[in-house]
């Protein structure tokens, strides 16, 4: 089903496109610097209030909507997104300078995500119904009838990242996992791609109409994070935040949410340096292959992935020297890439210059800047002793660069990686002659610090499936017990409610005696689809 949406530069509030008088962003092509019309207005207090209240009202209306209807909605969003066809990809290319193949792939992943969460919504498995029958004759105290399920948490504020306009955008994973359980969403558009965000919001609006669900279930407000974004999070109707972006942005919103009179959870998925640990035999046995694979992982998409490997740990010696030379050679071959925006380009330049001029850091591949936002890849090296004492060298450098950390021996390697902060991923490369004990030792250190532990593989490319974890201890996220990708992501936006001694008529259908939804439930410790008797 193909359809079109003419961009308005307005906000989506309760099913209507509402223009605000205040100018906010005129998107510009990162490639040429030319304006990409239209200009977008900034939401004021009235628009934030209206979108938040609409979400709150929709949440009340949605209370008794059967869970399979949210599956219908997500499937309809997928159809509507695809129905926008080239217009969506063209707009994303104009606003972000990401290449067509990358965006086509990301859109496919976004559709996969929507369909995955639709399956979860339809199964009702996320409700996790548990029934513990009453034991009126138990001594010394009788046991009451207790039943528990997960319920939606309420309106969720969603902030997408600039580097994934679809998959982590206004109808990306956070929105899909929130809607899957019947939570309304108020999305804050990203200043780097407001037009893409409006098109995606229009797709959700159409899908709400297609499925006959309340229009207030989804709103979009455009504007700056520190004003509009903060106001959405601070609004009393907001019950949780899903954020993908920088550490500074995620932390600022986390602090704001914590400072509210009634604090709310913030699931901020932030940057990461995704350490790679190269054991000596791996370097010796597969030097060229690892250099080639690592170069691709560091430079693909301009290095603008949250899973880009930004630190590589290895043990000093002739093999390490040859590896550094091979990696530098590979990086020199990579064509310069246009980064997402002038601000990201400027930040990358500043960060690369800071790395290059830090005491004890050697520049192995200096890179160049052939256009305002175009950069070639950079490679740096530092000793473990210097790296350990300079916290600035531990932080993410968003863009095509990586830092080799050269350790004295295996003991120093273990002690050095133990200084790492929380990460989305960590990888160990082992060769045939590396001992199991060494692999286990490094893996055990990384496991405490990462959400996804990888053996002999690269971190870029996040599979959307049940077993994946895209999360990790702070500062990778603000909630180490969560993931923003995969089936477990819905857990962020539900809360368990227990019902004690309620008669059937007052219970949610998922917990009623006859099991009218046909769910698999845990009844007195046993999994069953059967009815229960009182
Ligand atoms: P960003 O600058 O933090 O922006 C993300 C969103 O947060 C934008 O809407 C931004 O709006 C808002 N924001 C930023 N600072 C804020 C503040 N102080 N208060 C309120 N809102 C604020 O991130 P980005 O540049 O778009 O994305 C790149 C970063 O995201 C990288 O660090 C990358 O590693 C990370 N990332 C992480 C993941 C993951 O899953 N962990 C995935 C993709 C990207 P304004 O600009 O208007 O303030």
Could you identify the atom of ligand 1 that is nearest to the CA of residue 477? 41
In the reported structure, the alpha carbon of residue 245 is separated from the centroid of ligand 1 by a whole-number distance in angstroms of: 3
Calpha distance 356→337 (Å, rounded): 20
End-to-end CA separation in angstroms for the chain:
50
Tell me the two tokens of residue 105.
Answer: 């792939």
Would residue 278 be called left, alpha or beta, if left means φ above 0 and alpha means ψ between -120 and 50 degrees?
beta
Calpha distance 534→530 (Å, rounded): 13
Could you identify the atom of ligand 1 that is nearest to the CA of residue 343? 25
Calpha distance 170→200 (Å, rounded): 7
User: Are residues 253 and 217 located together in one domain of the fold?
Assistant: yes
Would you state the pLDDT for residue 26?
Answer: 83
In the reported structure, the alpha carbon of residue 383 is separated from the centroid of ligand 1 by a whole-number distance in angstroms of: 31
Q: What is the CATH number of the domain that holds 166?
A: 3.40.605.10
For the chain, what percent of residues have pLDDT higher than 70? 100
| Mean pLDDT (whole number) for 82-103 | 97
Name the one residue in this structure whose structure tokens are 């530098």: 328
pTM score, whole prediction: 0.96
In a domain, 32, yes or no: no
The answer on pLDDT for 502 being more than 80 is yes
Alpha helical stretches, state H, 159-301: 173-179, 194-211, 230-234, 247-259, 280-299
In a domain, 88, yes or no: yes
Which residue has the CA at smallest separation from atom 2 of ligand 1? 246
Q: Is 269 in the pocket of ligand 1 (CB under 6 A)?
A: yes
Pocket test for ligand 1, best of 249, 475, 480 (most atoms within 8 A of CB): 249
User: Are residues 414 and 343 located together in one domain of the fold?
Assistant: yes
Would you state the pLDDT for residue 331?
Answer: 97
**8-state DSSP, 266:** E
Mean pLDDT of the chain: 97
Tell me the two tokens of residue 25.
Answer: 């962003």
Name which of 22-31, 221-230, 361-370 the model is least confident about.
22-31
User: Are residues 335 and 351 located together in one domain of the fold?
Assistant: yes
In a domain, 517, yes or no: no
User: Are residues 134 and 153 located together in one domain of the fold?
Assistant: yes
In a domain, 345, yes or no: yes
In a domain, 501, yes or no: no
In a domain, 25, yes or no: no
Would you state the pLDDT for residue 372?
Answer: 87
| Mean pLDDT (whole number) for 219-240 | 97
Cis? peptide before 62, omega within 30° of 0: no
Could you identify the atom of ligand 1 that is nearest to the CA of residue 189? 9
Calpha distance 515→62 (Å, rounded): 21
In the reported structure, the alpha carbon of residue 189 is separated from the centroid of ligand 1 by a whole-number distance in angstroms of: 11
In the reported structure, the alpha carbon of residue 252 is separated from the centroid of ligand 1 by a whole-number distance in angstroms of: 10
Tell me the catalytic residues.
269, 306
**8-state DSSP, 41:** E
Instruction: With residue 295 as reference, give the H or E element that holds it.
Output: helix 280-299
In a domain, 316, yes or no: yes
Burial of 487 (0-12, 13-18, 19+ CB in 10 A): buried
Q: What is the CATH number of the domain that holds 389?
A: 3.40.309.10
Would you state the pLDDT for residue 271?
Answer: 85
Pairing of strands 130-132, 146-152: antiparallel
Which position has the higher pLDDT, 530 or 21?
A: 530
User: Are residues 227 and 261 located together in one domain of the fold?
Assistant: yes
Calpha distance 488→140 (Å, rounded): 39
Q: Is 226 in the pocket of ligand 1 (CB under 6 A)?
A: yes
The answer on pLDDT for 254 being more than 80 is yes
Would you state the pLDDT for residue 202?
Answer: 98
Alpha helical stretches, state H, 30-141: 45-62, 67-83, 86-96, 100-123
Q: How many CA atoms lie within 13 A of 197 on its CB side?
A: 35
Would you state the pLDDT for residue 185?
Answer: 98
The answer on pLDDT for 524 being more than 90 is yes
Q: Is 162 in the pocket of ligand 1 (CB under 6 A)?
A: yes
Calpha distance 439→413 (Å, rounded): 12
| Mean pLDDT (whole number) for 170-189 | 98
User: Are residues 266 and 280 located together in one domain of the fold?
Assistant: no
| CB contact at 8 A, 253 and 263 | no
User: Are residues 283 and 205 located together in one domain of the fold?
Assistant: no
| Mean pLDDT (whole number) for 185-193 | 97
The answer on pLDDT for 20 being more than 90 is no
Would you state the pLDDT for residue 401?
Answer: 98
DSSP string, 397-413: --SSEEEEEEESSHHHH
The answer on pLDDT for 521 being more than 80 is yes
Calpha distance 162→243 (Å, rounded): 11
Would you state the pLDDT for residue 207?
Answer: 98
The answer on pLDDT for 439 being more than 90 is yes
Domain that includes residue 182, residue range: 42-270+483-491
Length of the chain: 534
Three-class HEC string of 430-493:
CCCCCCHHHHHHHHHHHHCCEEEEEECCCCCCCCCCCCCCCCCCCCCECCCCCCCCCHHHHHHH
The residue among 235, 234, 241, 228 whose CA lies nearest residue 267 is 241
Cis? peptide before 140, omega within 30° of 0: yes
Name the one residue in this structure whose structure tokens are 């092509």: 29
User: Are residues 172 and 287 located together in one domain of the fold?
Assistant: no
Structural domains counted in the chain: 2
Q: Dihedral through CA 522, CA 523, CA 526, CA 531, nearest 10?
A: -100
The answer on pLDDT for 25 being more than 90 is no
| CB contact at 8 A, 243 and 269 | yes
User: Are residues 60 and 141 located together in one domain of the fold?
Assistant: yes
In a domain, 86, yes or no: yes
For the chain, what percent of residues have pLDDT higher than 90? 96
User: Are residues 261 and 295 located together in one domain of the fold?
Assistant: no
Q: Is 110 in the pocket of ligand 1 (CB under 6 A)?
A: no
| Mean pLDDT (whole number) for 395-413 | 97
| CB contact at 8 A, 466 and 473 | no
Q: Is 343 in the pocket of ligand 1 (CB under 6 A)?
A: no
Name the one residue in this structure whose structure tokens are 């059937």: 504
Would you state the pLDDT for residue 199?
Answer: 98
User: Are residues 312 and 175 located together in one domain of the fold?
Assistant: no
| Mean pLDDT (whole number) for 395-403 | 97
Could you identify the atom of ligand 1 that is nearest to the CA of residue 250? 3
User: Are residues 161 and 298 located together in one domain of the fold?
Assistant: no
Would you state the pLDDT for residue 22?
Answer: 72
Would you state the pLDDT for residue 24?
Answer: 73
The answer on pLDDT for 203 being more than 90 is yes
Would you state the pLDDT for residue 1?
Answer: 82
Q: Tell me the torsion sign for CA atoms 180, 186, 192, 196.
A: positive
Query: For the chain, what percentages of helix, strand and coil (3-state, to nearest 5) are there?
Result: 40, 20, 40
């Amino acid at each position: 089903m193909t359809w079109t949406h003419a961009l308005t530069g307005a906000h989506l509030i309760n099913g209507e496109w509402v223009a605000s008088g205040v100018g906010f962003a005129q998107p510009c092509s990162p490639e040429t610097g030319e304006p990409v019309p239209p200009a977008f207005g900034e939401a004021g207090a009235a628009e934030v209030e209206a979108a938040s209240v609409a979400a709150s009202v929709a949440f009340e209306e949605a209370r008794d909507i059967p869970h399979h209807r949210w599956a219908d909605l997500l499937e309809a969003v997928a159809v509507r997104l695809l129905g926008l066809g080239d217009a969506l990809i063209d707009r994303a290319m104009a606003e972000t300078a990401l290449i067509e193949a990358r965006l086509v792939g990301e859109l496919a992943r976004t559709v996969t995500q929507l369909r995955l969460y639709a399956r979860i919504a339809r199964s009702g498995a996320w409700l996790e119904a548990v029934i513990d029958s009453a034991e009126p004759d138990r001594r010394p105290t009788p046991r009451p009838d207790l039943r528990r399920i997960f319920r939606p948490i309420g309106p969720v504020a969603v902030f997408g990242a600039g580097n994934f306009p679809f998959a982590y955008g206004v109808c990306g994973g956070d929105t899909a996992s929130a809607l899957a359980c019947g939570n309304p969403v108020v999305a804050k558009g990203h200043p780097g791609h407001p037009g893409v965000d409006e098109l995606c919001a229009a797709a959700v609006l159409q899908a709400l109409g297609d499925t006959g669900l309340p229009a207030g279930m989804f709103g979009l407000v455009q504007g700056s994070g520190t004003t509009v974004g903060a106001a959405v999070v601070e609004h009393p109707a907001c019950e949780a935040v899903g954020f993908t972006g920088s550490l500074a942005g995620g932390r600022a919103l986390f602090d704001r949410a914590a400072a509210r009179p009634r604090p709310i959870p913030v699931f901020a998925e932030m940057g990461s340096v995704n350490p790679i640990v190269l054991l000596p035999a791996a370097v010796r046995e597969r030097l060229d292959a690892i250099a080639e694979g690592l170069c691709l992982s560091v430079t693909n998409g301009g290095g603008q992935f949250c899973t880009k490997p930004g630190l590589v740990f290895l043990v000093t010696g002739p093999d390490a020297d040859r590896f550094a030379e091979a990696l530098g050679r590979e990086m020199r071959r990579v064509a310069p890439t246009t980064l997402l925006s002038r601000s990201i380009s400027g930040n990358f330049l500043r960060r690369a210059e800071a790395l290059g001029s830090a005491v004890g850091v050697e520049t192995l591949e200096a890179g160049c800047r052939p256009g305002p936002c175009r950069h070639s890849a950079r490679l740096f090296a530092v000793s473990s002793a210097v790296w350990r004492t300079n916290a600035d060298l531990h932080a993410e450098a968003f863009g095509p660069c990586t830092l080799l950390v050269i350790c004295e021996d295996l003991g120093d390697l273990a002690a050095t990686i133990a200084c790492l902060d929380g990460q989305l991923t960590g990888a160990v490369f082992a060769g045939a002659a590396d001992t199991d004990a060494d692999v286990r030792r490094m893996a055990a250190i990384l496991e405490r610090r990462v959400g996804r532990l990888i053996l002999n593989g690269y971190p870029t490319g996040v599979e959307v499936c049940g077993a994946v974890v895209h999360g990790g201890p702070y500062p990778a996220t603000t909630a180490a017990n969560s993931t923003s990708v995969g089936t477990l992501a819905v857990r962020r936006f539900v809360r368990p409610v227990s019902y004690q001694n309620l008669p059937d008529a007052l219970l949610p259908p998922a917990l009623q005696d006859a099991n009218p939804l046909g769910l698999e439930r845990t009844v007195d410790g046993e999994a069953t689809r059967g009815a229960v008797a009182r």
